[in-house]
Amino acid sequence: MFAGLQELGVANGEDLKETLTNCTEPLKAIEQFQTENGILLPSLQSALPFLDLHGTPRLEFHQSVFDELREKLLERVSAIASEGKAEERYKKLEDLLEKSFPLVKMPSIQPVVMCVMKHLPKVPEKKLKLVMADKDLYKACAVEVKRQIWQDNQALFGDEVSPLLKQYILEKENTLFSSDLSVLHNFFSPSPKMRRQGEVVQKLTQMIGKNVKLYDMVLQFLRTLFLRTRNVHYCTLRAELLMSLHDLDISEICTVDPCHKFTWCLDACIREKFIDNKRARELQGFLDGVKKGQEQVLGDLSMILCDPFAINTLALSTIRHLQELIGQDLLPRESPNLLLLLRMLSLGQGAWDMIDSQIFKEPKMEVDLITRFLPTLMSFGVDDYTFTVDQKLPSEDKGPPPYPSAIPEMFPKFLLEHRIACEIGLYYLLHITKQRNKNALLRLLPSLAETFNDLAFSDIFLHLFTGNLTLLADEFAQEEFCSSLFDNFFLAACSRKENVHRHVLRLLLHLHHKVAPAQLETLQKSLEPTKQSGEAVKELYSQLSEKLQLRKPSPAQVADAPSMDLSLPTVPTPTPL
């Protein structure tokens, strides 16, 4: 507790103990110790007996004076750190640190020492090592001091960052499995600025400060984890972290990150959930501006574009462009803006392969995607328009026109073999579901049984799909609709993919009252968890069972009561006068 006082020539408890052990008159020894080590202020000598008369302990008095002096000293340290020339103020702080550091383990003095270290841009390495070696000191020091320790200790910095990264991924996954199913409030609803206010992003931003070395370390952690896990949420964090530093105007980092302006422009597009022509040209300029010898930037740009929020914006913009092309009688290959969206989608979806192979080259655009797959998607849109118009025309004896059911053979094949086609195809399905287009949904749903890397059973797609299905709530009473949706799509994957099981249970928890009772009973049996099922599935199934139990009517015990005829007696019609 009193460590360091002897180094400064100040008597401590041990000295008092030794004095009392060796003295013959303890009271005189105590009085002498108080005189030598008390506050050397002549006017105070007469005041202290007055405090004694009021029963105020000397300890309480000295403690209050000490606390007041410490606050004054802390204020003075902060003032020194902001006054005069940098060289002079840092020299004063270094001298103060040299004198006070021996008392760093003394709890009452420690805040002053830590305050001095906090204001020094470069704390002497010897003192940093002493702080790092002591867990309590390390925990007590300010983040400004920790930055100086971290920049030369990547492993220690990794230990600090790792729990935050795990927390971030867990938060994203919890959002995807949220019990709320809604079109208006889903995973992509929060604005970029709102997302950046999250605890993890704010903590990382504070830990990095203006330190480029620490920023590079975090980016390296994110790249490594993305490669190891293929988890795209690390790409989101990469973009959010850069834009959080941008919000704080940390030019020391923003000016050296080659992705800054591209991310800034894309961030504005994500906020609008659409890439207009002007911003499309800006983004194209950044991509075309990657110079020879700087191709490695493409790795970071691809990671920024692999962010699910970026993919969502690109895919939504692609669907919107295709609709506009139908109205303009144009083909996909005739739209430069559409081709740019596909280029960025391709770059984003190829992020893992690019960073893994270290071959920094844009993936080649597949011609068939533009000349065959996208026109097929447009033809589905044309079918919808034609069907709607046919229904409005006066019908003859033939009855209402049937909705087209045929699917070109190449469509499912594209969904299975081509990643970009699969992504756009899934977003088209989300689009028609959001439009409450039951016919188009039932037509295309069988094609989703097998998709590229099982993208149709990814958490992001299923989160959006189940949310959009709430708009078709009334259709769940129809056996044909439920059979196509559950038997042919969801249940086919439930046994091999637990996440699908969870999403189906989420959907039924929300819409069970709309499903026909017989169908619901069958579904309940099919969705019963196995021994291997995780706790999350068991918990959801338990919640569903409870809700269904509450819906069942209690067996009414109807007593045979005598019938009561309350009908009115027949009254004869009065004879007219």
Q: Which of 215, 207, 201 is nearest to 172 (CA)?
A: 201
* pLDDT given at position 297: 93
**Residue with the two structure tokens 């207009």:** 276
Q: How many CB atoms lie within 10 A of CB 141?
A: 23
User: Residue 239 burial by CB count (10 A; 0-12/13-18/19+): exposed, middle or buried?
Assistant: buried
Alpha-carbon gap, residue 111 to 386, rounded angstroms: 76
Q: What is the DSSP string of 410-455?
A: HHHHHHHH-HHHHHHHHHHHHHHHHTT-HHHHHHHGGGGSS-GGGG
Phi, psi of 382 (to 5 degrees): -65, -40
User: What Cα–Cα distance (Å) separates residue 161 from each residue in 171, 221, 242, 369, 538?
Assistant: 16, 9, 16, 41, 32
Q: Which of 388, 375, 255 is nearest to 322 (CA)?
A: 375
Helix or strand run (H / E) with residue 459: helix 459-469
Alpha-carbon gap, residue 11 to 539, rounded angstroms: 64
Determine contact, residues 456/425, Cβ cutoff 8 Å: no
Q: What is the DSSP string of 111-137?
A: HHHHHHHHT-SS--HHHHHHHHH-HHH
The tens place of each residue's pLDDT in the chain, 577 residues long, gives 455 565 665 666 777 777 788 787 888 877 777 777 767 677 676 677 777 787 878 778 777 887 888 889 888 888 888 887 878 888 888 888 888 888 888 888 889 999 999 999 999 999 999 999 999 999 999 999 999 999 999 999 999 999 999 999 999 999 999 988 888 899 999 999 999 999 999 999 999 999 999 999 999 999 999 999 999 999 999 999 999 999 999 999 999 999 999 999 999 999 999 999 999 999 999 999 988 888 899 999 999 999 999 999 999 999 999 999 999 999 999 999 999 999 999 999 999 999 999 999 999 989 999 999 999 999 999 999 998 888 887 766 566 778 888 999 999 999 999 999 999 999 999 999 999 999 999 999 999 999 999 999 999 999 999 999 999 999 999 999 999 999 999 999 998 899 999 999 999 999 999 998 889 999 999 999 998 999 999 999 999 999 988 877 655 544 444 554 545 455 555 544 4
Alpha-carbon gap, residue 289 to 283, rounded angstroms: 10
**Residue with the two structure tokens 């797959």:** 373
Phi, psi of 87 (to 5 degrees): -60, -40
Determine contact, residues 421/461, Cβ cutoff 8 Å: no
Determine contact, residues 160/485, Cβ cutoff 8 Å: no
DSSP 483: I
* pLDDT given at position 554: 56
Determine contact, residues 330/257, Cβ cutoff 8 Å: no
Residue 352 tokens read as 């893992």
User: What Cα–Cα distance (Å) separates residue 289 from each residue in 279, 281, 282, 547, 554?
Assistant: 15, 12, 11, 58, 71
The string over 39-64, giving b where at least 16 C-beta atoms fall within 10 Å of a residue's C-beta and e elsewhere, is: eeeeeeeeeeeeeeeeeeeeeebeee
Q: Which of 438, 467, 380, 394 is nearest to 179 (CA)?
A: 467
User: What Cα–Cα distance (Å) separates residue 349 from each residue in 130, 315, 341?
Assistant: 47, 12, 12
Q: How far apart are the first and last CA of the chain?
A: 119
Tell me the angle at which helices 410-417 and 419-434 cross, rounded to the nearest 10 degrees: 120
Outline where 177-307 has alpha helix (H). 192-195, 199-208, 212-229, 233-247, 251-254, 260-272, 277-288, 297-306
Q: Which residues are within 8 A (CB) of 419 and not within 5 positions of it... i.e. 6 or more apart? A: 349, 452, 453, 455
Determine contact, residues 147/165, Cβ cutoff 8 Å: no
* pLDDT given at position 557: 43
Distance of CA 178 to the CA centre of its chain: 13
At residue 408's C-alpha, the angle toward residues 407 and 413, to 5°, is 105
